[in-house]
Structure formats: structure tokens, C-alpha cells
Structure 1
Amino acid sequence: MALKAQNLSWEEVATVPLSAITAWQAHAGLKGLDDPNTAGKRILITAAARGVGVWLVQLASIAGLQVVAQVGSARNDEFVRGLGVSETVNYKMESLQEWAGREGTVDIVIDCIGGKTLEDAWFCIKDGGTLVSIVEPPEEKRPKELKDRVVKSESFIMTPDGHQLADLSRLLDQGRCRAVLDSVWNFEDCNKAFKRLDTGHANGKVVIKVTEYVV
């Protein structure tokens, strides 16, 4: 638990804990936001316009990284650039492997999708780079032709942490990052909310309001 960021509504606060702490702990594998050896490096983030992705983008920007975002539309391209992204990859137009063959490899990849996307992400990492997945162990998706590439790979399950949440609240109050609320739905419309998520139309977090009546 931590104090609510003062400049956020309750609906905006609901977007923070799970997604933001997951992003924070993914960055912790890179030695945090204040590591001078991280600044200036190039990072690729998949699903950058979704709930965890928007926090990964913002924290990477705070850390001084050059951020490349994987998106699926021109609308999402514009959206993530507003969060600090300098370059995008449209997965509907080319795979990560194709993009890496054209634009070169990066120092860090944080994957939020898994599966084929995680497999392709291996082609984007330079020797000595870091690959973090919040979905599944990266080694399970390492392509056979890259078995000799030297990469630090890891996955993790987010652990609730009040101290990290308090740090995030301070960043929000300082205006160094912002909560991204896509939409708010009443509980009886939860199926519509999940449909919005499933169709990939959501930017940031979808919040479902639950009202408790006490008689």
C-alpha cells in the first residue's frame, strides 16, 4: 500500500498498481532508473500502447533510454510518441525480425506479449544485451540459429511492493510520468470493456467500476 498520488482521480489511480509496478520491476532488472550505464542505450518495448507498455515507455524515457515501441496502428504510433517514444515498429506491416534486419539490434528488449513475438524479439538483441519478458521465460522461445548469442534473459512474476508504489506516486506528483486511462465502464458493461481490450483498441488501462450498496 501507498498514499494516492494527489493529482490523480480515483479512476486514474486504479490504472497504476499492477501495470506500473510490473513495469518498475521489469526495469529493476536493468539496475533501476538511476543507473548511468543505462542512459543512452536503445530499448525495444512490445505492446507499448497497452497497460504495462505505457509505463515501460515512460520509465525508460525517465531513465534516459532511446525508446523503440512496437505498435499496430497509426493512432497508437502517435499516442506512444507522446509518451517519449522516438521510433516505432508496426507489427501489421513487418515482424520484429524483419525490422531488426533493416534497423539493427538494440541493447534491451522488454516483451509484454510472448509467443511468436518473443521469439522474434531474440533477433532484435545485440550480443551482450538484455531480454526481459513479463509473460514467459525467454529461453523457451530462443531460435535455434541464435543459440550462441550471448544475452542476459529473464522473466518474473510481479510482486506487490508498497515502497515501489510510493516511488511511483512521487513521480506522478512531480509530473515526470502520467497515468493513462483509456476508458471507464460500469460493472454491468464489463463484457464490452473486455471486448475493447481484446480488439486492441485500448490505449493504456481499461477500468471497470464496481459499486457496493450497503443497506
Structure 2
Amino acid sequence: MQLPIVLSLFVFALTSLSSAETGPARMRALLMTGYGGPEVMKVGEVAVPTPASGEVRIRTHAAAVNPIDWKIRTGKLQRNYGVTLPYIPGRDVAGTIDAMGPGVTDWKVGDSVVAVTSGGTLAEYVIAPAENVARKPNKLTFEEAAGIPTASLAAWRTLITNGDIKKGQRVLIHGGAGGVGSTAVQLAHWRGAHVIATASQSNHAYLKSIGADEVIDYRTTRFEDVAKNMDVVLDTVGGETLQRSPAVLREGGTLLTIVGMPPAQACSERKLRCPTPSTATSEQPGEELTKLGQLFDSGALKMYVEAVFPLEQAAKALELSETGRARGKIVVRVLN
């Protein structure tokens, strides 16, 4: 065989290798080694995952934490969210495309993206289905962009897809300063609704700055005494708050919740629309994230990050989330 032919075959073999087959072999990650408190979390090394068909690998710049992360850690969700140990928490990621599995044509290595996954984002590399990926908003840092996926998707699907908020409606949002609540307040304001939110006194100025027309201090005031004849209520708190919420809705109003089930009897008696919590949508997550990204780039939405932890302190990020006192989002910086 002639030398030029040999070289050509060698080059062809190299270029035919999937980009998923290159890159580092090991990575740092936050590992959940058992169920319990913060002591079951540690940073260790694991193999770098390889994207399968239709998947991309993302080099993590930042990842946000959500309540589901510490709830999985405690073991309370084993029935619905059983995991294989050691488990890497995290569902939200912002970073750059590092490799692509077969069949992925919409992305290229180096693209700056955000994505939502079923887990594994508190690591240097993470795998995501290509349809769950969207371009990172240009106006946001990686830390800010990491806060978008889970919380903003929940707010979008609940208020916009299911609630179809309209201009002039009166909307009450419980837990307005949290991750979901912060985006929900802004989305309702963007749609032209009159927005009332519940929060502790320390968050009132913040909520008014992002679009709340009125804020109720839930610690000193019963929301029923202020919010009346509401068109829509979105509850992100659950428990007693959810049970009391039908009373402030007009007949035929809409009760939305992301925690618990709406009280069926009250919904029936007051002829309310009370859809069960659902993430069902006709769109792919990447399509929804693209729409949300456009709103962040336009300035209609803003991201507030309460705290940023390095990966070595990621367990503390889950602890802060568990307090339920954080404003906006809690983020872990993975790539310095």
C-alpha cells in the first residue's frame, strides 16, 4: 500500500471517531454516598460520562441547586426518585458543549448553553438530551444562566402554559421571592397582570423591583385579608397555604400549585379551575428554555442569585436551599 493511502486512511480513522470518544477520563463531582444529612455528600472523582445517540456532553461552568436535590438526599423521595449510589445531584447546568453523540446536528463543540437534566450537573461534565438544551442568554453570566432551567420552566409551564395569564388579571403568588416565585412574579408582570406576592418583610423591596404591585408579609398578615377576588393563585408553598387559597379566588378562578394537590372539595364548591400539578407540555424543554432565554436577553426577566459556592462546598449549597430562606437561586461554580 502506498504511503499517501496509508496516511489518508489514518486521517479518516481519526476524523471518524465521535467527539464523544475524546476528552478527559476522570472528573470531580459532588457525590451522594447514602441517604441522610450533609455528611453523606462529598466531592470525589468519577469517570467522565460519554454521550449516547441524541445526547450532548456539557463542560459545566455553573449549576444551580433546587429543593428536589436535598429532598433526594434525605431519602424522603425514594419511592418516586430512587437513585443509584453514588449519585451526583443537580438538574440545572450552564456551560459549553464539549462533545456530541451520534445524530446530534443542531449543536457544535464550544456552544454556550443552558440545559435541564434528570441529575448529575454538580460535576465537571454532564450529559443532557439535545432537545433539553438551549443557547445561554447573552446578557447573563454562566452563574445567572444556571439558575434558569428547573425553576423558570416550572413558572413558565404553570403560569403561561397551564394558567394562560392575561392582561388585567389579578394574580396572587405565594412564596414570591423563591426560585419559582421570582420568575413567576416577573412572568405575570410581563403578561400585564396585577401581581400580589407573599414574602417576609425583608423581601418586599426586592419583589416590587421585579414587578410585584403589592406584597403581603405572611408572618404578620393573613393573605385572605388583603388578596380578594383573585383571578389566579399560584402556590409554591403547599400545606396550609394551599388549603386556604381557594377562599381568595373569584368563582371560576384558577388555582395553580407546584406542591401538593389542590383541595378538591373547595375547588368544586367554588367552581374553580384546579389543574393537578403537571409538567406536561407539547414543547421540548429546549424550546421553552429558548423562549425564556429571549425574555432574559430582552430584560423582561432578571435572574437574582442569592449565593455562589465553589464545587468543593456544594454540599453547603444544598443546606442553604433546605432552609427555605434563600432569595432567587443558589448556584455552584464548577469552572473557575
Contact 1:109 1:125 in 2 (8 A): yes
- C-alpha distance in structure 1 between counterparts of 2:279 and 2:150, whole Å: 8
Q: 5 Å matches for 1:45-194?
A: 45-72=173-200, 74-97=201-224, 99=225, 102-140=226-264, 142-143=265-266, 147-158=268-279, 161-194=285-318
Question: How far apart are 1:103 and its partner, in Å?
Answer: 4.6
- Which structure has the highest helix share of the two? 1
RMSD, matched Cα:
2.0
Larger radius of gyration: 2
Is 1:96–1:120's contact at 8 Å kept on the other side of the alignment?
A: no
**TM-score, normalized by length of structure 1?**
0.85
Relative distance call for 1:179 and 1:49 in structure 2 (3 A) is same
CA contact (8 A) 2:163 2:256 kept: no
CA distance in 1, matches of 2:324, 2:238: 16
Q: Letter of the 1:45 partner, please give it.
A: I
Question: Unmatched 5+ residue regions in structure 1?
Answer: 33-37
What percent of counterpart residues are identical? Answer: 30
The answer to whether the 8 Å contact 1:135/1:155 transfers is no
Call closer, same or farther: CA 1:201–1:114 in 2, change over 3 Å: closer
Q: Deviations over 1:147-180 (max 9, x none)?
A: 5211000132335611111011111111111112
User: SS at 2:135's partner residue?
Assistant: coil
Letter in 1 for 2:211: G
Count of residue correspondences: 200
Decide which structure has greater strand share.
Answer: 2
Flag the 1:157–1:104 CA change in 2: closer, same or farther, 3 A: closer
Contact 1:96-1:123 at 8 Å conserved across structures: no
Change (3 A) 1:191 1:137: same
Q: 5 Å matches for 1:3-22? A: 3-22=135-154
Aligned partners of 1:4 and 1:44: how far apart in 2? 30
SS at match of 1:196: helix
Distance 1:153 1:46 in 2: 16
Structure 2 unaligned residues grouped into runs of 5+: 1-132
Secondary structure of the residue aligned to 2:152 is helix
